[in-house]
Amino acid sequence: QVQLVESGGGLVQAGGSLRLSCAASGSIVSTNAMGWYCQAPGKQRELVATITRFGSTNYADSVKGRFTISRDNAKKMVYLQMNSLKPEDTAVYYCNAESRTTTWGAYRDYWGQGTQVTVSS
C-alpha cells in the first residue's frame, strides 16, 4: 500500500543537468533508507545513490562528484540532482524506499514506476 512516484526525467544533452524527485505516499508509518537505482535496456538494475533518514549517503563510483542525493523526511520525498550528465547515464531511474506500513511490521523495499532519463551526445 506504499506508492512511490518519480518525476523530473527527460531528454538532455551531455553536460546538462536534471533533478529527479520521488514522492512517497500511502500507509507509511516510517521509512529508513531511500535511494535511486537505474536500469538500462538489457541490463540489471544498479545502485545510483542511497541516503539514510539521518543523511548519510552512498554513491556508485560512476556518479560520485556528479550526482547528489537528498531527502525531506517531513515530506517523505527523496531527490537526485544530476549534473554533468553523460550518454551512459541514459536509463530508467527508479526510486526505492525501505518502509513499513505498521509499527510492528518489518521494513520492506518499495519501488516506483521509474522515470526515463535520456542523455544525448
Per residue in 25-62, pLDDT (tens digit) is: 999 999 999 999 999 999 999 999 999 999 999 999 99
CB distance 16 to 121 below 8 Å: no
Cα separation, 96 vs 34, in Å, equals 5
Please name the residue that has the C-alpha cell 551526445: 121
Q: Both ends of the chain: CA-CA distance in Å?
A: 40
SS3 content of the chain, % helix, strand, coil (to 5): 5, 60, 35
Strand partners for 62? none
Q: pLDDT band at residue 1, thresholds of 50, 70 and 90?
A: confident
